[in-house]
Structure 1
Amino acid sequence: MANSCLLWPRERLGFVLSPSYLKPMTGTTLTDRALLRISGEEARPFLQGLLTRDVLTLQSDHPRWTGLLTPQGKALFDFILWGDGDDVLIDCEAAQADALAKRLTLYRLRRKVTIAREAALAVHWSLEVADKPHDPRLPALGHRWLAPASPDAGAEAAAAFRAHRLSLGIFEGVEELGQDQILWLETNAQELGGVDYDKGCYVGQENTARMHYRNKVSRRLVAVPLDQADDKRQRAALRDLGLSIELRRVEGLDPALLPDWLAAAIAGEAAV
């Protein structure tokens, strides 16, 4: 499926896009994503006790962004969940799929759960295909769905989505979030629908809930232009996009560097 959408820079983030990100896409397949199928009669209860989102009520047309955390509440993996009958499909980084499957297997113990790659489907994205679900993090991210891979699948869609996502100040994956380095709420997970506070226990729940109820999220992951980078706070340097991803203290953040959705959330917290 062709997609003629063009991406635009967000000047308030000091964003400069390479011309390669401004050309039309020839397909919708996100080739940097993979799918894991979690199946078996205990599949959903198994994930319910591990992840930050409610898995028991997950549906096929309402995906959910979630995280697998350390016991201290730090991000290990982030991914998107899709319901498929009693099964759950995990839409994750292709480069981390095996590591994620191994981590889930460590937790499985004797549960009746199967963890396997789903090769028949792929993850798709577009800003134009309006009859598909929105990305669960923010509607402005566009539409996301599962289907067989496009026959003309190339890297254009993955590159375009990455640039578009970062232009909105939204981070994902090990390169940007790290592993066992940043607390889940510091990744802006609450504002992007990445946590349920009433679902019961999961790995990392105690510290995550404590931070939320005490309003103690004192640092935030943000994108700043590379020429404003702070090496001590930098988590990743994305030189192709002219961005530095940094963990900065809330009181020192320049509002002009924040996307609207995050600026509004921080302002609301300050008013409490």
Structure 2
Amino acid sequence: MGSDPFAAVPGAVFDGAVLSGAGLVHLGEPLREQRELAAGRALAPLGDRAVLTLTGPDRLSWLDAITSQAVAALASGQGSELLVLDPQGHVEHAASLVDDGLTTWLIVDRSHAETLLSWLTRMRFRLRVELALRDDLRVVGGTSDAVAALPALAVWRDPWPHVAAGGWGYAAVDPHPGAERDWAEAVIDLAGYESLAAAAAAGAQPVAGLLAAEALRVAAWRPRAAREADGRALPHEADWLRTAVHLDKGCYRGQETVAKVHNLGHPPRRLVALQLDGSDAELPAPGAEVRVGDDVVGAVTSVARHHEEGPIALAYVKRTVPPDAALTVAVAGGTVAAAQETIVPPDAGRTANVPRLPRLSRR
């Protein structure tokens, strides 16, 4: 990416060891940055995102045929999400997308961008589609109103956690912790990105780092490819059928597994939200073991320190782990207790009859 203009903002920290991918991690006060970001006062330069553009008259029907989502009739300006699955139904890639009538804009995790572009290029055959990984574009996130002030080429508004047409929601809590989440991502050119950085450096525009954006995502139970697509994840396991899968569309790679697991069985693992004990304790790293007693039953995928909830995480655990089981998570030098909140119930699937339960606040 070259030198990031946000390096000139006072307090800017860039640390690839903290979060995968390049980008502004924080400006010294991640909790304050979260509050500003959630309130719509700050914007977050998302250096860990990349943009792919698709042009040509076959672009949407082609994406519809090879991915999990029905996008052939996607309305101009409407945001959606799709998954690329392997033949066994495991999540390989996820993309946020919006189409403006001429171009389809895909916002993807930067760490996945080149491999996704390579796969899409191989699948193009003779269709009228042109693809490009746009190094001349950047992504900035925030509330819908906050990003509306940017000189955006495209704006994707996150549909999470609302169940899209053809989707299915597994989480049985009311309200869903992401129900009030207002999140959008704007694609801007380098000139707009540099202008935003200059305003931030001058103190005219509050900005927030990736730690703040990630904390708001984790608190909303929102899965992300760079974290929850661990090489063997099925979309059911992360409640990803809500926004990224159309269960009634035609055949695509991995579709048979998606249908069988949802209609006839249960996913082998399930994503849980963890409230980690100890506000001053060291946070576990992604991949940290989750245990019941001495038995390893899962692993952390995402972790954050939230400005209201404290230390929180997402983790995959075995389906058979009871929802009320006492969990611990490995950290450097020991373990911390973790109270689990059920995202995907053990009996998740079309045949499940799960009552909607109120979500209990930890405070």
Asked if structure 2 preserves the Cα contact closer than 8 Å seen for 1:44 and 1:86, the reply is no
The alignment status of 1:110 with 2:126, answered yes or no, reads yes
The alignment status of 1:59 with 2:75, answered yes or no, reads yes
Distance 2:247 2:350 in 1: 19
The answer for the alignment partner of 1:161 in structure 2 is: 213
Asked if structure 2 preserves the Cα contact closer than 8 Å seen for 1:211 and 1:217, the reply is yes
Asked if structure 1 preserves the Cα contact closer than 8 Å seen for 2:297 and 2:317, the reply is no
Larger radius of gyration: 2
For residues 133-148 of structure 1, the aligned pairs below 5 Å read 134-138=157-161, 139-148=179-188
The alignment status of 1:77 with 2:159, answered yes or no, reads no
The answer for the alignment partner of 2:267 in structure 1 is: 217
| Structure 2: runs of 5+ lacking an equivalent | 1-27, 149-154, 162-178, 201-206, 278-288, 306-310, 326-338, 355-363
Shift of 1:27: 2.7
Distance 2:319 2:158 in 1: 28
Q: Select the structure that is richer in helix.
A: 1
Between 73-82 and 128-137, the greater mean CA deviation after superposition: 128-137
The DSSP-based 3-state class of the residue aligned with 1:193 is helix
Q: Supply the AA of the counterpart residue of 2:116.
A: L
Asked if structure 1 preserves the Cα contact closer than 8 Å seen for 2:262 and 2:350, the reply is no
Distance 1:45 1:267 in 2: 28
Asked if structure 2 preserves the Cα contact closer than 8 Å seen for 1:27 and 1:152, the reply is no
Kindly provide the CA deviation profile for residues 83-107 of structure 1, in whole angstroms up to 9, marking residues without a partner as x.
Answer: 1214321110122211110121122
Shift of 1:71: 1.0
Distance 1:157 1:269 in 2: 42
Q: Supply the AA of the counterpart residue of 1:212.
A: H
CA distance 1:244–1:126, shift in 2 (3 Å): closer
The answer for the alignment partner of 2:324 in structure 1 is: 254
The DSSP-based 3-state class of the residue aligned with 2:45 is coil
**TM-score under structure 1 length normalisation:** 0.77
Shift of 1:258: 2.3
Distance 2:319 2:87 in 1: 23
Shift of 1:269: 6.0
Shift of 1:247: 3.1
Shift of 1:120: 5.5
Q: 2:245 aligns with which of 178, 184, 195?
A: 195
The alignment status of 1:22 with 2:83, answered yes or no, reads no
Distance 2:266 2:185 in 1: 35
Greater RCO, CA 8 A, separation 6+: 1
CA distance 1:146–1:119, shift in 2 (3 Å): farther
- Amino-acid identity (%): 24
State how many pairs are aligned.
Answer: 251
The DSSP-based 3-state class of the residue aligned with 2:196 is coil
The alignment status of 1:152 with 2:162, answered yes or no, reads no
| Structure 1: runs of 5+ lacking an equivalent | 1-17
The alignment status of 1:229 with 2:252, answered yes or no, reads no
